[in-house]
Structure 1
Amino acid sequence: MKQPLAPPPAVAAPARPGPFASFLRFVLLGGGVGVLAGLAVPLLAAVMPWVAANAAVTVASTLLCTELHARFTFATGRRAAWREHWQSAGSATVAYLATTIAVGLLHLLQPSPGLLTEQLVYLGASGLAGTGRFLVLRCCVFAVRRGPVVRHLTPRGAAGVPALAAAA
């Protein structure tokens, strides 16, 4: 007697962390990269205009952070897709504008601020923009997609009766 085919095993999706856990991961990973970016911008600004240095560091840190957030912050269980990189780039553009405007305003108010003052303004603006980015990434970019439910049906015999019942 021929054994009926068993339905394919369901592949369990990775457990998605809750809002608090994912925010904590976002702060640790994104904040860590942000601090490194904050150190890299003045180093690059020594050889190029500050706006260009900030843009270069923003591009590099956005690519890195999108991968880290896909894998660890929001636990998608996979690398970030191109769509997620582009969407993340959109929110990073807003963050770039926020840091650039904040530091630009600082330079208007205080033409020669010290490095510490510039860093405090830069990191403060980055922190505020980062909170907005977290919401965009969690609610839009890496949101759980609710698609149609796919059910694995047991193979059916000629009369539409499940194969196990038909064999009995």
Structure 2
Amino acid sequence: MDDVITQGDGRGEVIADPAAAAPVRDDPHGTARESYPWIKGRTGRHRLRGDGVAAQFIRFVLVGGSSNIVYALVFLLLHSQGTFAANVAGVVISTALANELHRRLTFHASARVHWFPAQWEGGGLAVVGLLLSTVSLALLDFWLPAAGGAVQAILVVAVSAFVGVLRFLALRGWVFS
């Protein structure tokens, strides 16, 4: 009882046992102070590796951002071949990459979902998103024909964010479940 705290008169009366005050947690890495209670069993270093919605959504956003960079690079490399060809190539390559990264990293589904179904279903969702943004731009042009490039860009970003959330929910609940 080396950790016993006694009163000032030395009677040896137990006031508090520090070991009993703090519950012992299973913490093999010694990072208990970095714990995040909303992600059970994960420490600060491992919180993005979990299968919770928050961790998956963060990985989804990171993969999406990476695939957008790939799209931009492909588009710029092929722009001299025409914008339509560059756009199609950029969409196909970045979507295939994003679907595979989502399958392996975002949703940890490589053992559950094979490559082809992931590409087929995830690609179909990307086509739906492309159609929604195209229809939105057409409707904007119909209702506000004088709208400039900034308004169009804001609309595409807003539609893309909306489609991204729907895509996350569909991938999580249907494709990679």
* TM-score range for the pair, normalised by the shorter chain length: 0.5 to 0.7
TM-score when scaled to structure 2?
0.57
Are 1:72 and 2:72 counterparts?
no
**Alpha-carbon RMSD:** 3.3
Structure 2, unmatched stretches of 5+, are 1-48
TM-score when scaled to structure 1?
0.60
Residue in structure 1 matching 2:159, options 117, 125, 148: 125
Instruction: Verify the 8 A CA contact 1:103 1:122 in the aligned structure 2.
Output: yes
Instruction: Verify the 8 A CA contact 2:74 2:89 in the aligned structure 1.
Output: no
Q: Which has the higher contact order (CA 8 A, sep 6+)?
A: 1
1:66-111 CA distances to partner (integer Å, 9 max, x unpaired)? 0111121112356951011101111111111111111222222343
Q: Using the alignment, how far apart are the partners of 1:40 and 1:113 within structure 2?
A: 28
Instruction: Verify the 8 A CA contact 2:100 2:118 in the aligned structure 1.
Output: no
Aligned residues with identical type, % of pairs = 35
Are 1:61 and 2:94 counterparts?
yes
Number of paired residues?
127
Instruction: Verify the 8 A CA contact 2:64 2:98 in the aligned structure 1.
Output: yes
1:106-152 CA distances to partner (integer Å, 9 max, x unpaired)? 22234354433322211211110111111111111111xxxxxxxxx
Q: Using the alignment, how far apart are the partners of 1:100 and 1:56 within structure 2?
A: 17
Residue aligning to 1:165: none
Residue aligning to 1:148: none
Structure 1, unmatched stretches of 5+, are 1-14, 144-168
Instruction: Verify the 8 A CA contact 1:66 1:80 in the aligned structure 2.
Output: no
Residue aligning to 1:135: 169
